Amino acid sequence: MKIGICASLWTYPFNMQSLDILKKIENFGFDAVEFSIEDRSEDNLAAIKESLKKTNLACILGSSFVEGNLLSSDANTIKAGVKYVKESVDVCEYLGSGILAGPVYGSYINTDFLVPAVKNKARQQAVELLKEIGAYALGKNIKIAAEPLNRYETNFLNTANEAVEFVSEINLPNVGLNLDTFHMHMEEKSIKKAILNAGEHLFHLHVPENDRGTPGTGDVDWDGIAESLKNINFSGAIIMESGSPYAGEISKIGAFWRSYDYPPDKMAEEGLKFLRKKFSG
Ligand SMILES: [Mn+2]
């Protein structure tokens, strides 16, 4: 099982000014890095690709919508959403990332979703659009992992079960789930059972502590998670997606207002030590 970390512990979005972080992440001993790229210009992408090649890190592209949303009722916003996700698939292909992870449906809170007919319509629309985008990604051998988020970040997919139903309707071998221990700690009765139930649909796992701090310092049921991952023969990557107040836009989006356990470098070191111990072998 590959163990990685999100570059957003230090910086966000990822770009050609952030490249030193890659070597640092490799030197800590991680196998993989996850980041979101908003500047998709040729120069920026080429510089990132070049730097990645100088490491042995596997790379996972995170999806974070700047514009566009597959759940919108506005035609232009939907169009921008489809363009964003398809472009993300292209970026995956270019960088050699086999997976696009995150809230690929477009995360936001639409209180009109309390009316079941409104939510169902948006859901159906997202299913159809992700069938089309998923087929596009399948042609490039790239997986798409949709991430349920906690109730303060979306009211579309909050639980693993909702997400399993959603991707089952899309019904493509390369469209599955990205679960996250921080969100699950708020929304699931049992993280261990949620992972078991997700089974083969689970492609990718974010493993921050329950407060978004360093894995191993809080209440997350790490033994239960390790057991479930073994039971479902999980072959994806586990990614430390912890937060810090030093990463610009993502600190604001994620409400990372304070330092957690240690400064970011020490969080990475301690987190990796714990994850290796818990999840190796
Ligand atoms: Mn996450």
Show the domain range for 149.
2-279
CA of 180 to the centre of ligand 1 (A): 5
CA of 43 to the centre of ligand 1 (A): 28
- In tens, the pLDDT along 63-74 reads 986 779 999 999
pLDDT at 123: 97
CA of 176 to the centre of ligand 1 (A): 14
pLDDT at 275: 98
Q: For the chain, what is the domain count?
A: 1
**Average pLDDT of the chain, as a whole number:** 96
CA of 270 to the centre of ligand 1 (A): 19
pLDDT at 281: 61
Place 47 in a pLDDT band, splitting at 50, 70 and 90: very high
pLDDT at 84: 96
Mean pLDDT across the stretch 51-64? 96
CA of 103 to the centre of ligand 1 (A): 8
Q: Report d(CA 35, CA 21) in Å as an integer.
A: 11
Place 107 in a pLDDT band, splitting at 50, 70 and 90: confident
pLDDT at 253: 86
Place 249 in a pLDDT band, splitting at 50, 70 and 90: confident
pLDDT at 67: 78
Taking ligand 1, which is a single-atom ion, which protein residues have CB atoms under 5 Å away?
Answer: 180, 206, 241
Check which CATH number belongs to the domain holding 168 and give it: 3.20.20.150
Mean pLDDT across the stretch 255-271? 94
CA of 254 to the centre of ligand 1 (A): 10
CA of 147 to the centre of ligand 1 (A): 7
CA of 184 to the centre of ligand 1 (A): 10
pLDDT higher than 90, residue 79: yes
CA of 135 to the centre of ligand 1 (A): 24
CA of 250 to the centre of ligand 1 (A): 12
- Both tokens assigned to 77: 């916003």
CA of 241 to the centre of ligand 1 (A): 6
